Amino acid sequence: MGVISRIIGYPLGWVIWLAYKICGSYALSLIIFTVFTKLILFPISVKTQKSSAAMSALTPKLEQLKKKYANNQEKLQEATMELYAEENINPMSSCTPLLIQLPILYGIFDVVYRPITHVLRASKEAITMATEICQNIPGYGDQRYFEQRPELYIMEAIKDPAVTEQFTSLPDGMYDKILDFNNTLFGFIDLGLTPTFHPENGWDASSIGLIAIPIICGIVQILSTFIMTRRQKKMNPAQSGQMASMNIMNYAFSFIFISIAFSYPAAIGFYWTISGILQLISTAVLNKIYTPEYVAKLLEKDKKKKKAKKKVDMMQRYQQLLAEQNGTAANSNKNGAIGAKLSDDDGVEDIKLSKSQQKDIQSKLISENRKKVEDKYKDEELTEEENRLLEEARRRQAEKYGDN
């Protein structure tokens, strides 16, 4: 599957190896691993669910902006981003779980393709030797996907009574490990095999179970899409028409999942199925918790916190500016003059100012800085106490240094 898959698959392989050591079943190991990854991603799922509900609650305001700036796309984008910032919403947060799950899926492909390496922990020498033996056996080494999935075909060959004796000399007890490796689901579905509608050995319980895995996987994906679509219509009835094309695409992806599951070992489809079922459960629980009303309360609480923090930051910055102004004026009085040293290239020496000129410059500097601060925070809603503190600071400053 490539270098990236192997890099990601290495740590995941240790997780599945540990799970297999505990339960002794490859299928159950995949279930444990899937639960493990879902628990890791659950906080992100919560944040995504919250953001999705918040985006739905924000739809009326977004529609107003679209009408207001219908002829100015640049202004519309700017106003939209300002609205997201004001409501403390990240419109890209829904992509985060997908971006995290994608590398996990790459790793799963590697783990499924190389169970002898990851689960059985066989040495490279033993695997190389088994590969050479397998390549010389008609029907195994010449198979279409042998170069991509050699370990799966090695396991299949070793478990084939007709050729199994050729592998008895493998080092590190690899032969016995593979014979004892429980990689079946319900005891008869080999998760290392690829589902097909044309089984070589005819239709039996194993071949029927194999094709059932991708079909169930597709059903789970379709059900997940249906629940998501239904929730969108409930939360945004006005937007249901605009979302129709997106919903059709989501259903199309469900059938693509079925097609992909028929092209890879059954363990991939089994992982997707378990993952989809857990996602359905997680979504149902989060939908019950994060209702539009509850999300609206959370957003209002976040806005108040953000506003309070902004006021505190503003007051601190203003007080710092006043302190700097006071320090500048005090240093000027102490030195008895304000000097402006020009560069040596200009050939100009220090300039001495009179006391009246110093006072005039001090007043202008203070007024300019004060105006700059007031312009910057003129839209802030300050409390009565905050306004009182600001006025008191201005009065003391004016008394000490004069004011224009």
Q: Which of 163-172, 189-198, 305-314, 350-359 has the lowest mean pLDDT?
A: 350-359
pLDDT tens digits along 234-265: 666 655 555 556 667 777 777 887 888 888 88
Mean pLDDT of 314-337: 55
Residue 341 pLDDT exceeds 60? no
Q: How many CA atoms, within 13 angstroms, populate the side-chain half-sphere of residue 338?
A: 16
Q: How confident is the model at residue 210 (pLDDT cuts 50, 70, 90)?
A: very high
Structure tokens at 102: 């994608």
Close Cβ partners of 358 (under 8 Å, ≥ 6 residues apart): 332, 337, 338
The helix/strand/coil state of 184 is strand
Measure the CA–CA gap between 324 and 314, rounded to whole angstroms: 15
Residue 149 pLDDT exceeds 80? yes
Residue 138 pLDDT exceeds 80? yes
Mean pLDDT of 334-340: 43
The candidate with the shortest Cα–Cα distance to 115, out of 213, 24, 11, 192, is: 192
Mean pLDDT of 302-308: 70
Instruction: With beta carbons less than 8 A apart as the criterion, state whether 75 and 143 touch.
Output: no
The helix/strand/coil state of 189 is strand
The candidate with the shortest Cα–Cα distance to 360, out of 327, 335, 391, 332, is: 332
Q: Bridge partners of 184?
A: 190
Mean pLDDT of 368-383: 58
Instruction: With beta carbons less than 8 A apart as the criterion, state whether 192 and 267 touch.
Output: yes
The candidate with the shortest Cα–Cα distance to 236, out of 226, 248, 228, 224, is: 228
Q: How far is CA 338 from CA 332, 344, 356, 386, in A?
A: 6, 19, 11, 33
Residue 399 pLDDT exceeds 50? yes
- The residue type of 315 is M
- The residue type of 220 is V
Mean pLDDT of 288-292: 75
Mean pLDDT of 39-43: 83
Mean pLDDT of 193-206: 85
Q: What is the pLDDT of residue 9?
A: 87
Q: Which residues of 164-183 are buried (b: 16+ CB within 10 A; e: fewer)?
A: eebbeebeeebbebbeebeb
Instruction: With beta carbons less than 8 A apart as the criterion, state whether 19 and 119 touch.
Output: no
Mean pLDDT of 317-331: 58
Mean pLDDT of 188-205: 86
Considering the chain, what percentage of its residues have pLDDT values greater than 70? 67
Orientation angle between helical segments 292-335 and 384-401, nearest 10 degrees:
10
Q: How confident is the model at residue 215 (pLDDT cuts 50, 70, 90)?
A: very high
Determine how many CB atoms are found less than 10 A away from the CB of residue 223. 14
Its pTM stands at: 0.66
Residue 44 or residue 235, greater confidence: 44
Structure tokens at 85: 């910032």
Mean pLDDT of 365-393: 62
What mean pLDDT value characterizes the chain?
Answer: 76
Q: What is the pLDDT of residue 175?
A: 92
Residue 134 or residue 401, greater confidence: 134
CA of residue 308 relative to chain centroid, distance: 29
DSSP 229-268: HHHHHHH-GGGTTTTHHHHHHHHHHHHHHHHHHTTS-HHH
Q: What is the pLDDT of residue 404?
A: 45
Q: What is the pLDDT of residue 387?
A: 66
